[in-house]
Amino acid sequence: MATRIRPSSKRCAVIGGSGFLGRHLVERLVEKGYSVAVFDISQRYQVPGVTFHQGDLCDKQALLKVLKDVSLVFHCASPSPACDDRQLFWKVNVEGTRTVIQACQEAGVQKLILTSSASVVFEGTDIKNGKEDLPYAKRPIDYYTETKIHQEKVVLEACSKEKDFLTVAIRPHGIFGPRDPQLVPILVDTARKGKMKFIIGDGTNLVDFTYVENVVHGHILAAEHLKADSPLCGKAYHITNDEPIRFWDFMSQVLIGLGYDAPRYHLPYSLVYGIAMLLWMITCLLRPLVNIKPTFTPMRVALAGTHHYYSCWRAKQDMGYQPVVKLQEAIARTVASYPHLRKEELPFLGQSEAFCISFGCVFSEIRVD
Ligand SMILES: NC(=O)C1=CN([C@@H]2O[C@H](COP(=O)(O)OP(=O)(O)OC[C@H]3O[C@@H](n4cnc5c(N)ncnc54)[C@H](O)[C@@H]3O)[C@@H](O)[C@H]2O)C=CC1
Ligand SMILES: CC(C)=CCC[C@@H](C)[C@H]1CC[C@H]2C3=C(CC[C@]12C)[C@@]1(C)CCC(=O)C[C@@H]1CC3
């Protein structure tokens, strides 16, 4: 019988390595002396020593070519939550992840680290210091979350010491940092349209925002601690900054840092959530005709108006996790990394004019892409 030669434990692949988190992860892995192969549907950068493989993770043959001499795989690919395309989420996050597992097993990969999401337990109601044993959301708010739940289950169930295939899921929350295509750009876009004048709810809700380097640190620690006799096998781990902050204070600090005004007028949470739900249903009905993308989706409103912060005690205990960049330093670095999103000086608008325009915008403007 032919014996399989084990690839070095420092040979790894990052599926989704062209993305925001993926690229930060690749850069850190290279710094730490790993040899890295990136697998992604698109290539967006080049790093010396990193090999790029363009392909769809639903294509097992394409994956096998990359995974054949790799012992460790990070899977951080997903369609953007903003696309709200149920079929695509199922195809990539659930079916595609099954394909990733099969390809890993066939290629002899020993460890798979999944980027899941703390949102897998979020149903739109308060979560305070949530632990990993909270049940999965029975009624997930959006299709993205629905498929992240299935994806995490599939990966954790595949963990098998007998098959020499170990898995772990990292659940970050609200990742931010340089090059993020989502949080800061959407926030600035919303502010530029005059829609960021309102605080949803009383503004006291605490939330986790996690700096990308801390998320990367959690992934690498997980990879290095995942062994057959370790408690990590088949488990999920919250990775946060461990400094919950009021959602609206975080938004205000980023906005002010970039030269925009902080939101200050309050709107009742249930009113905004109801309107967001109604708008979402209308967009679904109209979808065969036009693709409308409302800024305030039910998920975003729920995230903006409720407490949702998580304990990372399990990661501290099992893998020695501690955030490496504190929140205030992380916000300062992030703001400094977006000079192109700074506010350009515009003619002065009176406070009452600004209020009327913004109030109208929030509820009436629907963007047709
Ligand atoms: N951004 C956030 O706040 C959070 C993100 N996550 C998770 O972290 C992971 C990374 O997210 P981001 O870096 O923010 O997203 P991103 O959109 O920047 O990166 C995702 C990458 O996946 C690639 N991809 C998508 N479909 C693919 C396919 N079929 N085959 C191969 N590659 C494919 C994309 O091209 C992209 O490069 C995702 O799994 C996401 O669910 C979890 C919690 C919070
Ligand atoms: C209310 C509003 C329009 C605020 C602008 C910022 C939002 C776009 C972000 C605030 C919290 C973010 C967040 C995610 C996406 C961007 C935000 C809604 C995720 C849904 C991304 C994917 C996940 O797995 C969970 C994230 C939670 C926080």
pLDDT tens track for 201-214: 999 999 999 999 99
pLDDT tens track for 117-131: 999 999 999 999 999
DSSP bridge pairs for 211: 176
| 355 within a domain of the structure (yes/no) | no
- What is the rounded CA–CA span in Å between residue 69 and residue 120? 32
pLDDT tens track for 283-292: 988 888 888 8
Which residue type does 230 have? Answer: S
The b-or-e profile of 62-93 (16+ CB within 10 A means b, else e) is bbeebbebbbbbbbbbbbebeebbeebbbbbb
ipTM: 0.97
Res 3: pLDDT: 52
| 89 within a domain of the structure (yes/no) | yes
Nearest CA to ligand 1 atom 16: 19
Residues near 26 by Cβ (< 8 Å), separated by ≥ 6? 14, 17, 36, 38, 47, 50
| 231 within a domain of the structure (yes/no) | yes
For 288-313, what is the mean pLDDT? 92
Which residue from 76, 120, 176 has its CB within 8 A of the most atoms of ligand 1, so it is best to mutate? 76
Q: Select from 82, 14, 10 the least CA-distant residue to 44.
A: 14
Res 365: pLDDT: 40
Res 369: pLDDT: 35
Per-residue pLDDT for 357 more than 90?
no
Beta strands in the chain (DSSP E): 11-15, 35-40, 50-54, 72-75, 111-115, 127-130, 166-172, 175-176, 198-200, 206-207, 210-211, 236-239, 245-246, 265-267, 308-310
| 166 within a domain of the structure (yes/no) | yes
Which residue type does 134 have? Answer: L
Per-residue pLDDT for 361 more than 90?
no
Per-residue pLDDT for 299 more than 50?
yes
* Structural domain count of the chain: 1
Quote the radius of gyration of the chain (alpha carbons, Å).
21
Res 344: pLDDT: 79
81 lines ligand 1 (CB under 6 A): no
Q: Please, which pLDDT band fits residue 10 given cuts at 50, 70 and 90?
A: confident
119 lines ligand 2 (CB under 6 A): yes
pLDDT tens track for 241-281: 999 999 999 999 999 999 999 999 999 999 999 999 999 99
Structure tokens, 252: 């205000």
205 lines ligand 2 (CB under 6 A): no
| 367 within a domain of the structure (yes/no) | no
Which residue from 40, 45, 59, 78 has its CB within 8 A of the most atoms of ligand 1, so it is best to mutate? 78
CA–centroid distance, residue 217 to ligand 2 (Å): 21
For 12-25, what is the mean pLDDT? 98
182 lines ligand 1 (CB under 6 A): yes
Res 364: pLDDT: 36
Higher pLDDT, 353 or 71: 71
Per-residue pLDDT for 328 more than 90?
yes
121 lines ligand 2 (CB under 6 A): no
183 lines ligand 2 (CB under 6 A): yes
- 38 three-class SS: strand
117 lines ligand 2 (CB under 6 A): yes
Range of the domain at 117: 11-173+209-242+310-324
Is 321 within 8 Å of 218 (Cβ atoms)? Answer: yes
Q: Counting atoms of ligand 1 from 1, which one is nearest the CA of 75?
A: 39
- What is the rounded CA–CA span in Å between residue 219 and residue 24? 11
- 165 three-class SS: strand
Which residue from 14, 15, 18, 21 has its CB within 8 A of the most atoms of ligand 1, so it is best to mutate? 21
Mean pLDDT estimate for the chain: 92
| 100 within a domain of the structure (yes/no) | yes
Give the number of the ligand closest to the Cα of residue 175: 1
Total Cβ atoms within 10 A of residue 350: 8
Q: Please, which pLDDT band fits residue 340 given cuts at 50, 70 and 90?
A: very high
Q: Please, which pLDDT band fits residue 303 given cuts at 50, 70 and 90?
A: very high
Stretch among 1-10, 33-42, 61-70 having the lowest mean pLDDT: 1-10
pLDDT tens track for 137-164: 999 999 999 999 999 999 999 999 999 9
| 334 within a domain of the structure (yes/no) | no
Q: Select from 263, 330, 276 the least CA-distant residue to 303.
A: 276
| 250 within a domain of the structure (yes/no) | no
Res 291: pLDDT: 82
Res 6: pLDDT: 63
- For the sheet containing 11-15, what is the strand order? 50-54, 35-40, 11-15, 72-75, 111-115, 166-172, 236-239
Res 153: pLDDT: 98
Res 354: pLDDT: 45
pLDDT tens track for 20-61: 999 999 999 999 999 999 999 999 999 998 999 999 999 999
User: In this structure, what is the dihedral angle of CA atoms 113, 115, 116, 119, given to the nearest 10 degrees?
Assistant: 150
Q: Please, which pLDDT band fits residue 358 given cuts at 50, 70 and 90?
A: very low
Nearest CA to ligand 2 atom 16: 183
Give the number of the ligand closest to the Cα of residue 53: 1
Give the number of the ligand closest to the Cα of residue 114: 1
- 221 three-class SS: helix
Per-residue pLDDT for 2 more than 60?
no
CA–centroid distance, residue 152 to ligand 2 (Å): 20
* CATH code of the domain in which 60 resides: 3.40.50.720
- What is the rounded CA–CA span in Å between residue 312 and residue 317? 9
Give the number of the ligand closest to the Cα of residue 171: 1
